[in-house]
Each structure stands twice: as structure tokens, then as C-alpha cells.
Amino acid sequence: MIPLTNILDVQQPVLMVEIRGNENNPLLHGTAIFSPTPMGGVLIQVEVFYLPDQDLPNHSGFFGMHLHQNGDCQIPFDQTGDHFNPKALPHPEHAGDFPPLLSGHGYAWMAFYDTRLSIEDIMGRSIVIHGHKDDFSSQPSGMSGEKIGCGVIIKI
């Protein structure tokens, strides 16, 4: 099997975000790094600790995660704006729709390749983690609930 990083010829990460939790989730924290590829698009790697699913009965373990328009993560994260959607597409087809995080005992790690974005598109925007899973159909943003984590994307 050929590793994904060889197929994409991934370059060194050039952007990062430090995610922190809201007042109800003060231990929640994590990072994401963003690497360009010569084929276009961005490889995104995310690691998050202390997601609240371990304390919630009947929680699926899935959390919505989106790229939001504004890079303003002042608690209560109400200034992040809408999902990044430069082509005015319906949810879940817009560029700000990311795959959901899947938590096990409060920890989540994932990597994905996104061809809808470029490094220039995402600099200065915010990554938001929501308290529930995205339903991938409700408009305009998937009914994923409260913004429990947020971070602004910066250059490394």
C-alpha cells in the first residue's frame, strides 16, 4: 500500500489552529495543521482532547466540525459567522463543511484531504467544533448544536 502522503506529495504544514473550549468545556483543547499539496487542495490533520461525549448519556460520539467565515473565537464563539461558503452552495456541499469528529473517551484524531479549499482560502478563518453531530441535510448548517470549541487559523 502506498501511503497517502506519498500520493499527494504533501508539503510541510504552513497553517495551524489551536482549538480551545467554551465556558462549559474548559478542558477541551486541540490542534489542526494544514498542508498544501502540488495537486491543489489541502491536507488537514486534527487532534482534539476532552470532548464532552464521555459525560453525556446516549451521545453518538460524533461532533460537527466546520470552517467558519470569521476568525473571531471570543467566547461564546458567536462571532465566527456562517460556514465558509464562497460558491453559495447548500449544506453539506459548501467548502466549510468538514467531516465529523468521532470521539472515543473524549479524544478524536483524523486527517482528510479537501480539494474545495486552498491555503489562501482558510488563513484567518476559524475552525468550530459543535456539541452534536451534523445531520448533513438541515439548512444552512446541519443542526450540529452549540459551538463548544473554536480556534483561529494562523501561519506557522
Could you tell me whether strands 42-49 and 29-36 are parallel, antiparallel, or unpaired per DSSP bridges? antiparallel
Helix, strand, coil tally for the chain in percent (to 5) = 10, 35, 55
Residue 19 near residue 150, CB atoms below 8 Å? yes
Residue 49, pLDDT score: 97
Please indicate whether residue 29 or residue 95 has the higher confidence score (pLDDT): 29
Residue 136, pLDDT score: 82
> Number of structural domains, the chain?
1
| The three cell numbers locating residue 67 | 470552517
Residue 5, pLDDT score: 57
- Domain residues for the domain of 20 are 4-155
Indicate if the pLDDT at residue 9 is higher than 80: no
Q: DSSP letter at 79?
A: T
Indicate if the pLDDT at residue 10 is higher than 70: no
Residue 129, pLDDT score: 97
Local confidence band at 115 (pLDDT 50, 70, 90 cut-offs):
very high
Q: What is the pLDDT of residues 133-151, one digit of tens each?
A: 888 888 877 778 899 999 9
| φ/ψ (deg, to 5) at 52 | -80, 5
As a whole number, the mean pLDDT across the chain is 89
Residue 92, pLDDT score: 85
Q: What is the pLDDT of residues 30-45, one digit of tens each?
A: 999 999 988 889 999 9
Using alpha carbons, list the distances in angstroms from residue 48 to 35, 41, 54: 18, 23, 14
Residue 96 near residue 88, CB atoms below 8 Å? no
Residue 62 near residue 23, CB atoms below 8 Å? no
Q: What is the pLDDT of residues 50-105, one digit of tens each?
A: 999 666 667 788 999 999 999 999 999 999 999 999 999 888 888 889 999 999 98
Specify the CATH number for the domain of residue 102: 2.60.40.200
Residue 146, pLDDT score: 92
pTM over 0.95? The answer is no
